[in-house]
Amino acid sequence: MIKLIAKTFGINKYKMVLIVRTDLRMNAGKIGSQCAHAAVDLYRQALNNQTIGLKQWSFLGQPKIVLKVNSENDLLEIHKAAQVKNMNTCLVYDAGKTVVDEGTLTVMGIGPHEESEIDSLTKHLKLL
């Protein structure tokens, strides 16, 4: 129903993407926790900066997609490209209390932003 309303009224689709490093071999619980940190950080930044699209993203169900990369370098390349396009981004560094060492970059987030813009940076990535 929401997609029909968006299409009818010409509302752009917005989403949030969370990108996880698979080379760290984090368990499902750790991945979930790190993705939650990224989602909260992105939302807080978007709210503080009154990011265009935050209301549309909220209205259309707050879509969040989780993708994977094989290395820190891959993550940082996407982050840099997103920053060049002035997208809302965040990097999550772990506190080191459980699975990975303190300061380890685990997840990157982008959005909420127009789906087509995010896809231009992430379409080559696979779902986690």
> pLDDT tens string for the chain (128 positions)?
555 555 555 668 899 999 999 999 999 999 999 999 999 999 999 999 887 789 889 888 899 999 999 999 999 999 999 999 999 999 999 998 888 999 999 999 999 999 999 999 999 999 99
The model's pTM is 0.90
Q: What is the pLDDT of residue 1?
A: 55
CA 105, CA 80: separation in Å to the nearest integer? 14
Q: What pLDDT, on a 0 to 100 scale, did the predictor assign at position 60?
A: 85
Domains and CATH numbers, the chain: 15-122 (3.40.1490.10)
The C-alpha atoms of residue 15 and residue 9 are separated, in whole angstroms, by: 18
Model pLDDT, residue 99? 86
Q: What is the 3-state secondary structure (H, E, C) of the chain?
A: CHHHHHHHCCCCCEEEEEEEECCCCCCHHHHHHHHHHHHHHHHHHHHHHCCCCHHHHHHCCCCEEEEEECCHHHHHHHHHHHHHCCCCEEEEECCCCCCCCCCCEEEEEEEEEEHHHHHHHHCCCEEC
